[in-house]
Amino acid sequence: MSEQKRRGAALLECCQEIPCNPCATVCKTGAITKASLNARPEFHPDKCVGCKLCVAACPGQAIFLETPDYEPGKWALTFPYEYRPLPEEGQTVTAVDRLGQPVCQAVVAAVEDRPVYNKTVLVTLVFPAEHREQVRFMKRLEQEGR
């Protein structure tokens, strides 16, 4: 597996042309650029180092980090998680789509609360690769009755 695949790459789902630029500002490698403040961000995957700073910085929660082939037949997705309680590494949770509808079971691979993420916790889920187009979040733990 290439080093780029191991690190993963940003997945931008920013669909609005609004005055916003934290993703481009925080990106140290130039992987995310904007032609103007109101333009949608442009992603340059060859420059992405998988640092996840853009994931934590996006106020619209429209940026994820995806890691193809995290394990054989598995995909990983990292996203901001702003609820309590926090999930725990190794915990099985329900992965959901953009509308909050259940997609599949997933395992929490990481819960990162680093100072560089400016108080935004990032959660990484690992799930079957066939669900990579659907999974974007996880069911909140209190909704699962935990």
Confidence bin at 1 (pLDDT 50/70/90): very low
Domain of residue 109, residue span: 3-144
Q: What's the total number of domains in the chain?
A: 1
Half-sphere exposure of 114 (CA within 13 A, CB side): 13
Q: Please state, in angstroms and rounded to a whole number, the distance separating the CA atoms of residues 141 and 44.
A: 35
What average pLDDT is seen over the chain?
A: 92
Place of tokens 């920013």: 14
Residue 144: the pLDDT is 62
> What is the mean pLDDT of the segment spanning 40-46?
95
Q: Over 90: is that where the pLDDT of 4 sits?
A: no
Considering only CA atoms, give the Rg of the chain.
Answer: 15
* CA torsion angle 72 77 78 81 (round to 10): -130
